[in-house]
Amino acid sequence: MNRIARFEALAEQLIEGTFARLFAGPIHPLAVATQVARAMEDAQVQAPDGSLLAPTRYRIDLHPQDLVALRERHPSPEEELVRYIEELARQAGLVLPGRPLITLNPIPDLPPHTVRVQAFQEPRTEADESITRQMTDISSPSETPPANCFLIIGGQRHVRLTEPTVNIGRALDNDIIIEHPRVSRHHAQLRRRYGRYVLYDLGSSGGTMVNGYPVQECVLRSGDVISLAGFEVIYGEDPTVSNLPDKNSSATEGHPLPPPET
């Protein structure tokens, strides 16, 4: 039995009791359990000592109506999901570095009665050379945020970044709205962690890339070229930038770039 089949078999064994009752509805509990198991399998990494680490962060996308129905059955479904993930990791022989963090994410574009799960490793403060930049390039907690962080969107618009969390997408409820047909309604998120901005893909249909490499999460450096389903955004940190909004303006207020000098 291959590893994926083994994970799915474990998932089937573990869905009983509260978990089965929690998802007793249009979304079958086995579908949720299998998606979580696959996400855990896909995102596991090998530690320097050879042990396999299970991911600690899980985002579960649901249609808003399904999420409402789920919370009506159980006000805190995250707790039951945490217990399931902990037991699944134990049965699979994986090390869980910390308590799992579950995010239930309503996605209006997702078809009803559909579930989509993504798992991520929590960035660690002790760097592991064998893990990619997506997992390790985090500054120390004491570092202050870089000055004048900004995005250049489509080569036309400067957007200053000051808030700890910035949502990017086509929908009007985003902090940064990008009206482009390939950009998902809720495409990506910037989150400030330990003095750096980290880019997260929010399960977009077209994917997110940084400098030509597909990513689900990535610590950004000045000059990084972000592709949101082919739409380019440049991330920058420039203490000399003088044409950004002042401190009283919106954290995501955009304005056009000045025309190039001739």
Strands 57-62 and 149-153: unpaired
Lateral strand order in the sheet of 57-62: 101-106, 57-62, 115-120
Task: Write out the E strands in 154-204.
Answer: 157-161, 165-169, 176-177, 188-193, 196-201
pLDDT at position 151? 94
Cα-Cα-Cα-Cα dihedral sign, residues 151, 153, 154, 156: negative
Nearest to 252 by CA among 143, 164, 145, 181: 164
Residue 4, pLDDT score? 47
- Mean pLDDT per 10-residue interval, the chain, length 262 residues: 52 57 68 82 81 88 85 80 86 86 84 86 47 42 62 90 91 92 92 84 89 87 91 82 41 42 43
Q: Kindly state the tokens that stand for 249.
A: 């303006």
Q: What is the pLDDT of residue 134?
A: 47
C-alpha torsion sign, points 39, 43, 47, 51: positive
* Predicted local distance difference test score (pLDDT) of residue 234: 93
Q: What is the pTM of this model?
A: 0.46
pLDDT at 167: 93
Strand partners, 201: 188
Identify the helix (H) or strand (E) that includes residue 58.
strand 57-62
Q: In the block, which residue shows the tokens 């120390």?
A: 140
